[in-house]
């Protein structure tokens, strides 16, 4: 029993530390980044509740073991939990990179979206040109959306009627459209997610 109990405690602590690290990582990814969510996950309140529920038994167990002066088992639990937590945080980013590879829109999907955007440009005679290389690079960084990066070929600022046709378009996947004027501070970003949820860096262009 003296051997079995520490083993069971270690296994549970290792599992608890790993799961705690996972949900903490999810919480960190869900933090807003300049108005855009890096990762679309569960509500923060739900994740925080899970973290508390995972940590509570661990804290109670350590407290009880400390009261009963079971210092060896208590030390085993703490070391196992912390070691598992640290190792999980080291490994999770590598796992995340693998997941991102499969979640990033394929080249075919990106090409389809770019073709749809190009069709709007041609049909509406809009003064934009798609920067394909920049679009692909930003899509790889964005992960969860197809990004289409457009440069205005005229010197004037970006007009609302030049952006509105894209806002009124239904895309088959989540997209981020970035319109860049020739002036450094003249740009508009429009995010159109499934369900027609739209976000603009400047709401004037989306009304």
Higher pLDDT, 91 or 48: 48
pLDDT of residue 37: 46
pLDDT at 38 over 50: no
Q: Give 171's DSSP letter.
A: P
pLDDT at 129 over 90: yes
Return the closest-CA partner of residue 14 out of 90, 94, 96, 86: 86
Going from N- to C-terminal start, the domains of the chain cover 4-103, 107-205
pLDDT at residue 92 in the model:
66
pLDDT for residue 98 is more than 60: no
Residue 44 has what pLDDT? 76
**Residue 123: alpha-carbon gap to chain centroid:** 34
Beta-sheet pairing, 175-180 with 187-193:
antiparallel
Using DSSP, state whether 193 is helix, strand or coil: strand
pTM, rounded to two decimals: 0.54
Cβ 38 vs Cβ 27: under 8 Å: no
* Contact (CB, 8 A) for 132 and 118: no
Whether 191 contacts 36, CB under 8 Å: yes
**Confidence (pLDDT) at 130:** 96
Kindly report which listed range (13-17, 121-125, 159-163) carries the lowest average pLDDT score. 13-17
């Amino acid at each position: 029993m003296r051997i079995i109990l520490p083993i069971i405690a270690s296994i549970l602590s290792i599992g608890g530390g790993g799961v705690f690290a996972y949900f903490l990582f999810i919480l960190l990814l869900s933090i807003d980044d300049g108005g855009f969510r890096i990762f679309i996950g569960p509500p923060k309140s739900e994740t925080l509740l899970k973290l508390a529920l995972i940590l509570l038994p661990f804290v109670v167990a350590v407290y009880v073991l400390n009261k009963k002066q079971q210092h060896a088992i208590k030390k085993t639990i703490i070391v196992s939990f912390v070691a598992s937590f640290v190792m999980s945080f080291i490994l999770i980013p590598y796992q995340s990179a693998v997941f991102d590879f499969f979640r990033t829109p394929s080249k075919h999907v990106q090409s389809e979206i770019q073709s749809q955007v190009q069709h709007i440009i041609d049909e509406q005679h809009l003064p934009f040109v798609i920067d394909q290389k920049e679009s692909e690079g930003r899509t790889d960084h964005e992960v969860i959306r197809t990004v289409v990066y457009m440069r205005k070929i005229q010197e004037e600022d970006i007009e609302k009627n030049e952006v509105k046709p894209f806002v009124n378009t239904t895309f088959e996947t989540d997209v981020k459209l970035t319109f860049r004027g020739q002036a450094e501070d003249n740009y508009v970003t429009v995010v159109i997610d499934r369900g027609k949820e739209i976000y603009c860096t400047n709401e004037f262009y989306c009304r």
